[in-house]
Structure 1
C-alpha cells in the first residue's frame, strides 16, 4: 500500500539528513587530511527490495563516488549471496568488483529487518595509500591493474559483529600508512554505524512497511517527474565526443563518443563508438562511466531529489573492452578524473543540442600532485605522503546566467581545498602562491572560473621530496558551450628557474625536489558559456576592476575597450571593436589571451605570436 505523500516527504528528508550525518561522522573522526580537510569521500543510503538495489539518499557527496557505490552494494550482495548477517561490515575497492579505481575504498553495512537486508549505509573515500609499487598508489605508468595497488575482492571486516582480525591485519599490511588507515577504517565504519542507528530509529517510529512503502513511493515519484522532463526535450539523436590528451603509454587523443537518443519519455545513451581500452591507467569501468552520465542527467533536473528513480527511464550501452567499459587486466587508476571527465564532456556536448541553457562544465580537468619523503622537522624522519588539492581545483565553468565560481565543478563540489596553514603544519612544505590568476577565466557571455596557480617548496624535509605530477587537459582543455571559450589548460613545473627545471604536461614520477626548489602547478579551469562578445560590458569592467581580466584581456577576449585613465568603458569604440571582432571570428578560429599564454609557457607557441 502506498504511503501518503506527507509521510513520504518526511521520510525523504530524514534519509537525506541521515546521509549527511553519515558523511560528517566520517569526516569529523577521520585521521588523514584527504578526508578531514579535503572531504574526498561520500556517503549514501541504499535500499534493497529483494530484486534490485536503489540509491535513495546522498549528501555532501562526490557524484562519481556515490553513484558507483550503487554497484559496490550490488557486488556485495552478489558476492555474499546467502551469506550476509546482521553485524557484517564489508569493504570493497577492486574496480572489477564494483569499484571505480583501487584507492576508492567503499565500506558497506547491511541493515536487517524481519531477517532480510533492507538498507545499506555506505561510505566511499579515496585513501592516501592503497599499496602497490608507488607510494600513494597513483602510478601513471602502470600497464596493468596489479601495478596500481592492493587489489582484493569484497571482504568482511566484521562478521556477525565480530572483528575478523586476519582481514584487518591484511588490510593494514598493504598500505604504507597503517596507523592512518586504521583510524580511517574506524571513521568509515563509524559513519555506517550511525546510519544504521538512525534507520532503526526511523523504522521503530513508523514501522517497516510504512518506511518501505515511502521509499518505493519516492522512487516512483522521482521517475514520473524525470519522465515528464524528458518528454519536454525534442525527440531525436544527438552526438557528443571528447578526447583525452594521452594515456601516458604513447596513445594520444583517446576519444569518448556518445549517441544520445530521446524518444518520448525515454533516453538512451550509447557509448559504442568510444575508443578501445588501452594498457594504461586511464580506462573507465562501466560503473564509473555511468556515474558521469547520471551526474549529467542530474544537472538537467536540478529540482528533483537525486535517487535511482531518475535513472529508470535511462538505458545505457557500453561495449566491453572499450575505454568506457574496461576489462581486466588493464588499469583504471585515473578513471575518476581522466577518461571520466571526457565521459562527462561528451555527454554534455550531446545534451547541449537539446537543453543548451542547462549545460556547462560538470567535470574536473586532471592535475594531480603527490609528494612523498621523510619529514625531518621532529628529528624522527617520519615518512609522509601528501596529495595536494591546491594543484587540482578551478574547473568550474560558466552556464546560462551564471559565471563559474568557487574551486570545483558540480561533480566534485563536495570537496574542499586543504587549509594552507594546516598543510604547512602537517607536511614539510611552504606555500608561496595559491590563488586565481588574471586573464585565465574562460571567456564567455558567462565566463568560467579563473585558473588557479600553486607555488610551493619543500621545507625541512629530510633529504629530497619525491613528486609525482599527473596532467591532462593541456592539449584538449575543458570545452566551452554555446560559443564560450575552453579553459586555458594545465601544466606543472618542477624546480622552477633552476638549471634542471622540468616542465610537464603529461605525467612524471619520482621527481626529486630539494629544499629551496619550487614546484608550480596551473589548474586551468572549465569553459565559458555563450559568445564573449555578448557579455555585458559592465560585467567585463567589473572583472577588470576585480583583477579577473586585464585591460588587454578585456579588449582581446571580449572586445571591450577600457579607458585606463578613468577606468571606464569607452562605449563608442567598444561597439565598433566588437563588430570588427565578430566578423573576424566568423572567418577563423580565435584563442583567448590566457590560453595563448599557457600555450607559450609550455612551448607550443612561439613567445611572440599566436
Structure 2
C-alpha cells in the first residue's frame, strides 16, 4: 500500500484522539480529587525515535516538558542498563530527568509489535502529596530538592505486565496519603495501556512500514507549516524583561531575546538572574514548555502539536540560572509560578513584533493552595490552583476567572472539597474591580476562601503578582495584585490579617484563609472604551462606578 495524504491524516487524527482517550482513562480511573476532578494530568504518544506524535489538549506545562523528559529518562535508562522491555513500564518523578516537579509522576510504556519497538505512550499526573516539608509537598522555603518530597529516578513500575511492589511503595510510603498514590499510579498505567491498544490497532490496520512512513510524513508537514507561520512574523530581534517575586522581598529578573529569521525562531534567556535557594527555580523542561506554548498560541491552532512544530525553534537558557538550575536546587514553585512568568515574558517580547496578536499580561499565577493535617484518625492532603483574569486583547476583553496559560485544569467542585476534606468553602466568586482598565478591560480575578473545620491544618499558599500587578499593553492599566487574607476569631470578634502571597501558616477550627487572585492587564487607553461596555461592567458588578470615574 502506498502512503497518501488521506492515510497520513487518518493516522495523525487517530493518534490525537488516542492521546485524548488516554486522558479520559486516567481521569475516570483516578482515585484523588486532584486528578479525577481537576484533571491535573497529561498524555502523549511518541514514535520509536522519541519524537512527539500527538498529545491531548491537557496541561501546557506538562506537555511541553514531556518530550524533553522522555528523552532524558531514556538516556538515563540506557546509561544505567534499564531495558525498556516489552510489557514493562517505567516511572520517574525526578524533575531534572522528567521535566517538571516532584509531584508530577511520569509513567512510560514502550509499545512493541512483533517484537519490534514502534512507539511509546507516556503520561504525567500531579500526585497531591509526595512527602516533603508540608502537606501538598510544595513548600515556599525548601533549600534542596530532597526537602520537597521523595525523589524517584527512572525504575520499573511494571514488568511482564505485573506491578513491581517496591516501586509502588517507593512513592506511597513517603506520602501522607498512600492509598491515593497507589490508586493514581494504577490509573496512569491504565492510560498507557489504552494508548498502546490504539497504536497497535493502527499498526495492525496499516502495517508497521506504512505506519512509520505516515508518522515521518506528518512530522515533516507540521514542520513545514510551522516554518511558514514563523516566516509571517517580521524578522528581527525582540527583547523583554519581567520579574518574579522572591519570598525574601526582592524581585528576580527574567530576560529574553527573540530572534526571528529564515523561518526559524531563536529564544535566548541570557541576562536572566541566577538560580535561587528556594523552590522558584524552573528546570529546563519547564522553560521549553513556555516557549512551545506561547509560540503555538501565536502561530495558529491548525498547527498540530507534535515534534515538527518545535523543530524550527531553538532555546538557550544558561545553566545555573533560574530557568535552567543545577541539581539538586528545589524546583516545585518553578513549575507552577516561574512558568507563568515566563509565558508573560514571552508574550511581551512577541508584542514588539506582532502587537495585534498578543494579549496583555494574565493574572500571572497558578495561586497554589496546599492544605493538610489529621482528621478523624487519618492523614489528608489537599491541593488545587485558582484561576485569574486573562489579559485583554486588541479586539476583546480578557476572560474572567479562568486558569491561564501554563495551567489548564478544572476547579475542584465545592461539593468535592467539602465531601473529601475538613473544609468549608465560604466564598467563591469573581473579584470586583480587579481587571486592568483599557479600551478592552482585563479579565477579573477570583475570590475563594476556605474555613477550617478542625484544628491544626497546615496551609501553604504559593502565588505571585503580590507586589507587581499584571501589566497592560498599549496604554492599558495593570490588573489588581494578588491578595491573601487570614480571618481569625478572637474575643468574639473576627480579625482580618493581610499575609504574604507566599506563606505557610496553621489554621485552627473556624479560621478562614482567603485568596484574591490577580486580574488581567488592560489593552489600549481606558478613555476609549465603549460606553455600552462600561455600562455592562457596572450592571454585572465587575467594576464600581467610582473606579470608572477615577480612570476616565
TM, length-normalised to structure 2: 0.94
- CA change 1:2–1:174 in 2 (3 A) is farther
* Greater alpha carbon shift after TM alignment, 149-158 vs 437-446: 437-446
CA distance in 2, matches of 1:496, 1:241: 39
Find the counterpart in structure 2 of residue 262 from structure 1.
260
Structure 1 SS opposite 2:396? coil
Displacement of 1:37 after TM fit? 1.0
Structure 1 residues 386-405: aligned runs within 5 Å: 386-389=382-385, 392-405=386-399
Structure 1 residues 327-476: aligned runs within 5 Å: 327-360=326-359, 361=361, 364-375=364-375, 380-389=376-385, 392-412=386-406, 414-459=408-453, 461=454, 463-476=455-468
Determine if the alignment matches structure 1 residue 495 to structure 2 residue 487.
Answer: yes
Would you say the 8 A contact 1:241–1:345 is kept in 2?
no
Would you say the 8 A contact 1:447–1:527 is kept in 2?
yes
Find the counterpart in structure 1 of residue 140 from structure 2.
140
Q: 1:482 aligns with which of 467, 471, 474?
A: 474
Displacement of 1:444 after TM fit? 2.5
- CA change 1:400–1:11 in 2 (3 A) is farther
Structure 1 SS opposite 2:394? coil
- CA change 1:17–1:493 in 2 (3 A) is same
Displacement of 1:480 after TM fit? 2.2
Determine if the alignment matches structure 1 residue 76 to structure 2 residue 61.
Answer: no
CA distance in 2, matches of 1:362, 1:172: 36
Structure 1 residues 586-597: aligned runs within 5 Å: none
CA distance in 2, matches of 1:402, 1:307: 29
Q: Which has the larger radius of gyration?
A: 1
Determine if the alignment matches structure 1 residue 18 to structure 2 residue 12.
Answer: no
Would you say the 8 A contact 1:367–1:491 is kept in 2?
no
CA distance in 1, matches of 2:13, 2:354: 29
CA distance in 1, matches of 2:456, 2:495: 14
Would you say the 8 A contact 2:87–2:161 is kept in 1?
yes
Residue correspondences, number: 544
Cα deviation code 1:32-53 (max 9, x no counterpart): 111111111111112233xxx2
Q: 2:282 aligns with which of 281, 284, 288?
A: 284
Determine if the alignment matches structure 1 residue 127 to structure 2 residue 127.
Answer: yes
Find the counterpart in structure 2 of residue 57 from structure 1.
54
CA distance in 2, matches of 1:198, 1:363: 39
What is the root-mean-square deviation of aligned Cα atoms in Å?
Answer: 1.9
Structure 1 SS opposite 2:55? strand
Displacement of 1:497 after TM fit? 6.6
Would you say the 8 A contact 2:69–2:285 is kept in 1?
no
- CA change 1:312–1:473 in 2 (3 A) is same
- CA change 1:456–1:109 in 2 (3 A) is same
Unaligned runs of 5+ in 1: 560-610
Determine if the alignment matches structure 1 residue 504 to structure 2 residue 496.
Answer: no
Unaligned runs of 5+ in 2: none
Find the counterpart in structure 2 of residue 572 from structure 1.
none
Find the counterpart in structure 2 of residue 524 from structure 1.
518
CA distance in 1, matches of 2:410, 2:177: 22
CA distance in 1, matches of 2:174, 2:370: 19
Structure 1 SS opposite 2:311? helix
Cα deviation code 1:351-409 (max 9, x no counterpart): 0011112212467414222221233xxxx3322111243xx212422223232225334
Structure 1 residues 544-559: aligned runs within 5 Å: 544-557=538-551, 559=552
Structure 1 SS opposite 2:125? strand
Would you say the 8 A contact 1:76–1:90 is kept in 2?
no
Displacement of 1:251 after TM fit? 6.1
CA distance in 2, matches of 1:146, 1:299: 35
Displacement of 1:340 after TM fit? 1.5
Structure 1 SS opposite 2:64? helix
- CA change 1:179–1:214 in 2 (3 A) is same
Determine if the alignment matches structure 1 residue 253 to structure 2 residue 251.
Answer: yes
Cα deviation code 1:315-334 (max 9, x no counterpart): 11111101111001211010
Structure 1 residues 529-548: aligned runs within 5 Å: 529-548=523-542
- CA change 1:472–1:362 in 2 (3 A) is closer
Would you say the 8 A contact 2:293–2:406 is kept in 1?
no
Cα deviation code 1:276-308 (max 9, x no counterpart): 111110001111101001111011112311212
CA distance in 2, matches of 1:367, 1:410: 11
Would you say the 8 A contact 1:397–1:409 is kept in 2?
no
Structure 1 SS opposite 2:419? helix
CA distance in 2, matches of 1:412, 1:339: 10
CA distance in 2, matches of 1:477, 1:117: 50
CA distance in 2, matches of 1:225, 1:362: 28
Structure 2 SS opposite 1:434? strand
CA distance in 1, matches of 2:140, 2:373: 19
CA distance in 1, matches of 2:342, 2:11: 34
Displacement of 1:134 after TM fit? 2.1
CA distance in 2, matches of 1:525, 1:124: 29
Displacement of 1:412 after TM fit? 4.4
CA distance in 2, matches of 1:502, 1:54: 51
Displacement of 1:471 after TM fit? 2.8
- CA change 1:436–1:492 in 2 (3 A) is same
Structure 1 residues 228-247: aligned runs within 5 Å: 228-246=228-246
CA distance in 2, matches of 1:43, 1:556: 48
* Greater alpha carbon shift after TM alignment, 236-245 vs 94-103: 94-103
Structure 2 SS opposite 1:176? coil
CA distance in 1, matches of 2:464, 2:176: 27
Displacement of 1:496 after TM fit? 4.7
